[in-house]
Amino acid sequence: MPVRGVRGATTVARNDEAAIYKATLELLETMVKLNGIRPDDVGYVLFTVTEDVDAAFPADAARAGLGWTAVPLICGREIPVPGALGKCVRVLVVWNTPKTQAEIRHAFLHGARVLRRAWAIDLPGDVPLGGP
């Protein structure tokens, strides 16, 4: 079975445990819903956070919120590029699936929509991005 990467990113409202958990869980639930991801088919998940997000591990949302206790999860720090989007949680789900690469739905939410406009998902309350 082919292995595919599913990308996602979101921003957190505040650097606190509850905000990081909520934003990460929303992102993962969106990715699962868009792609039909089952935990038994996930090889591993890599999370990164910007340097201003350090109050909690995003992986905790996958374990507690989705029950992904048998899925290998790891967190790391995003490269601190000057001027880059802050308060950002990024994720790469490595997934065993027969879907083609073109069938994979990536999810960039809230403030992270500007990172990949083609993969942006507008949710209630989001300000339209505008432009191409």
Kindly give the confidence (pLDDT) of every residue in the chain, 132 residues in length, as a single tens digit, with 9 standing for 90 and above.
899 999 999 999 999 999 999 999 999 999 999 999 999 999 999 999 999 999 999 999 999 999 999 999 999 999 999 999 999 999 999 999 999 999 999 999 999 999 999 999 988 888 878 655
Q: What is the DSSP letter of 127?
A: P
Give the span between the Cα atoms of 109 and 107, in whole angstroms.
6
Residue 93 has a pLDDT of 98
Q: At what angle do helices 59-66 and 17-35 cross, to 10 degrees?
A: 70
Quote the DSSP letter at residue 100: -
CATH topology of domain 3-119: 60s Ribosomal Protein L30; Chain: A; (3.30.1330)
User: Are residues 123 and 110 in contact, defined by beta-carbon separation less than 8 angstroms?
Assistant: yes
Domains of the chain, residue spans: 3-119
Q: Above pLDDT 70, what percent of the chain?
A: 98
What pTM did the predictor assign? 0.94
Contact yes or no for 8/91 (Cβ under 8 A): yes
Largest interatomic CA distance in the chain: 42
